[in-house]
Amino acid sequence: MPPLSAVANLLRLPKYARNVQRMRFVIRVLFTHGFGHVLDRAGVGRLVQLGRQRLMGPDESIARRAWEVRVRLALESLGPTFVKLGQMLATRPDLVPMSLIHELRKLQDDVPAIPFPAVRNVVQQELGAPLSSIYQSFDETPIAAASIGQVHAATLKDGTFVVVKVQRPGLDETIRTDLDLLAFLAQQIEDQLPDARQFRPVAAVEQFARGLRLETDFTNELRNIERFRKQFAANPTVHLPITYPTFSGRRVLTMEFIDGAKVTDTETLAQWGLSGPDVARNGTSLVIASIFEHGFFHADPHPGNFFVLRDGRIALIDFGMMGSLDRERIDDLLAFLASLLLNDPEMLVTQLMDLGLLDDRVDVRALRGEIHELMARYYGVDLANIDIGMFVMEVFEAIVRFDVQMPADLLLIGKAISTMEGIARQIHPDFNPLEEIRPYLVRLYVRRALDPMVYSRRLVRLMHDYWGLMTTAPGEVRGLLRRVKRGELEIQLRDAGEGARAIRTERRINRGIVAACTLTFWAGFTLTLPQVAAAGWMSLTGLWTVLLALNGTWTGALLAFSMLRSREL
């Protein structure tokens, strides 16, 4: 196909004609990082040629690195949408191998700062007023810059010290274009690579797109902070930043300045006289309580999002990525983790069945054996030497190998627990998160298992379902009967053995016909035989008699052979 045809194909792609240059840039980056063969297999080889116009081949310094490293570097080069995609994939061992997940957790989205005039324009457009009329002071140098936006220190008119999170200009258009490209590539992969269909790339991109749109809407983040604050209002070890809705919008978020140290800044914590084990314990309790008591948790708990105040309270920032669980899912998750912590593979497999994750295609016995073997490696090991995050992720990986589609929320929680443990061990290397988690989870599991309110809710739900069935069933039955009466609906009853019986019946009828023919032929032979003596064998009667004998012999032999072969009449 000539280059003009390749360009024409590109222009025919829905929504992409407006930004062919972005498509070419994505292709060039992927090709530079050694993934041209993947694009060829996905059916976009001609588009790869567009990128090759300026490239003689992959970058040799990059090509020598492991493929997992090249994936991370490519995502970082492609910008905010792809960085966020990598962060999402780092929580999905059901989609990508663990070796890639470990590498994607290193993703960095530090980017050059936005020029201050552009920052001022975004704030003024979003809040509808000049910057000087909103803030008493606004630091032009950002505190931090990332792919989604950057943070500036500012002071309100009443002297309150705040931080202002400002979204990057043009981010909406970039994300919209990148999501279109990702949707196209996912569809190509699903169409052209049959082996990849089990990972449902189109559905994964759609889920990612929904999450990214929420994360880039700062009004959603403001609501998340307020909800989290209500959850921990009575907890003296937690502090959530105060938000200012009047000075916030979809692209601007104004909130309290957190005057604290990063949770991993052990030197500063020691200078403040704070105990490492206490800080690790408070952070662990915060994460566990948010998941298992409230069902609303921070889904991106990396060290940069945890701060410690001078009085020892834990303060969280960046509430763009949050996870949410209903009560039923919390109960399922408690049973799931309790089976891990109690070293009970039977209970774990039973829980997977209750969750509806195992179907007829799964070899349950083999899965149970593999989980038992995995748990046996940890059984009897000192709790302090167990990496619970790695343990949970290894169990997830073993389950996924049996083509079990793990729910995204379970995988997200696995990542949160794993990250929490890593942070706790950074703060205090001798801290044992498992000693904190196991008794808490077991107590909570027993309490929930014995809680009459849990069973009452289930009973109410069951009664509601039955009541709905009782109220709707009569009308539905009447409707079906009316359709049957009008001849619009035909009811057929089929016996599982009906086909075999029909074949046997048909075979017996055929044999009856052959037997009747045989008897007819021999009866005719017998009746015409006396006439042959007078007319002779060479007469017409003689020839007819011989023909009857031959036919009788043939059909008789055929009948006998059929009966001997089937061993039945």
- DSSP assigned state of 112: P
Decide: 301 and 324 in contact? Cβ < 8 Å. no
pLDDT value at 419 more than 50: yes
pLDDT confidence of residue 141? 93
Instruction: Indicate the helix (H) or strand (E) that contains 144.
Output: strand 144-145
Q: Are residue 271 and residue 410 in the same domain, yes or no? A: yes
Q: Are residues 233 and 322 in the same domain?
A: no
Residue among 350, 398, 406 at smallest CA distance from 374: 398
**Active-site hit among 94, 178, 180, 300:** 300
Q: Which of 390, 418, 450 is the last residue of a domain?
A: 450
Highest mean pLDDT among 58-67, 199-208, 226-235, 327-336: 226-235
- pLDDT recorded at residue 549: 78
Note whether 434 and 475 are same-domain residues. Answer: no
Residue 559, beta-bridge partner list:
none
In a shared domain, residues 89 and 54: yes
- 327-341 vs 408-427: helix axis angle to the nearest 10? 60
In this prediction, residue 293 has a pLDDT band, given cuts at 50, 70 and 90, of confident
Its pTM stands at 0.67
Structure confidence at residue 165 (pLDDT): 95
Average model confidence (pLDDT) across the chain: 76
User: What is the average per-residue pLDDT within 262-288?
Assistant: 87
Strands 322-324 and 314-316: unpaired
Q: Is the pLDDT confidence value at 37 over 80?
A: no
For the cut 90, the answer to whether the pLDDT of residue 154 exceeds it is yes
Number of domains in the chain: 5
With vertex at residue 132, the alpha carbon angle to CA 111 and CA 316, rounded to the nearest 5 degrees, is 45
Q: How far is it, in rounded angstroms, from Cα 296 to Cα 322?
A: 7
Tokens representing 60 are 């040799």
Quick check: 263 and 412 in contact, CB under 8 A? no
The neighbouring-strand residues paired with 163 are 153, 255
Residues 246 and 186 in one domain: no
* Tens digits of residue pLDDT in 363-389: 778 888 887 887 777 665 554 555 666
Please give the residue that has the higher pLDDT: either 352 or 224. 224
Percent of the chain whose predicted confidence (pLDDT) is above 90: 18
Same domain, 367 and 304: yes
Q: What is the pLDDT of residue 54?
A: 46
pLDDT at 4: 40
Residue 13, pLDDT > 70, answer: no
Pair 467, 527 in one domain: no
Do residues 393 and 414 lie in contact, with contact meaning Cβ atoms separated by under 8 Å? yes
- Among 106-120, 344-358, 380-394, 508-522, the range scoring the smallest mean pLDDT is 380-394
In whole angstroms, what is the distance from residue 401 CA to residue 98 CA? Answer: 12
Nearest to 407 by CA among 44, 94, 136, 167: 94
Q: Which domain holds residue 146?
A: 110-176+204-257
* 339 lies in the same domain as 478: no
Q: What is the CATH number of the domain that holds 211?
A: 3.30.200.20
- The model's pLDDT over 422-431, given as tens digits with 9 standing for 90+, comes to 778 778 777 7
- Regarding whether 187 and 138 lie in a shared domain, the answer is no
Together in a domain, 147 and 192: no
Name the 3-class secondary structure at 261: strand
At residue 251, the pLDDT reads 94
Condensed to tens digits (0 to 9), the pLDDT of residues 71-102 reads: 888 888 888 888 888 877 877 766 777 778 77
The pLDDT-based confidence of 309 (bands split at 50, 70, 90) is very high
Determine the average pLDDT of the residues in 486-507: 61
Helix (H, G, I), strand (E, B) or coil at 137: strand
Query: What are the Cα distances from residue 322, in Å, to 223, 295, 325, 536?
Result: 11, 10, 10, 106
Average pLDDT of 216-229?
A: 92
pLDDT on residue 382: 54
pLDDT surpassing 90 at residue 263 = no
Confidence band of 479 (pLDDT split at 50, 70, 90): confident
Rounded mean pLDDT of 198-222?
83
Provide mean pLDDT across the span 230-239: 91
158 is catalytic: no
- How do residues 169-191 score in pLDDT, each as one tens digit? 988 888 888 888 888 878 877 77
Pairwise CA distance, residues 165 & 257, whole Å: 11
Same domain, 370 and 506: no
Residue 90 CB partners (closer than 8 Å, separation 6+): 101, 104, 105, 107, 415
Residues 547-557 have a mean pLDDT of: 76
Same domain, 21 and 83: yes
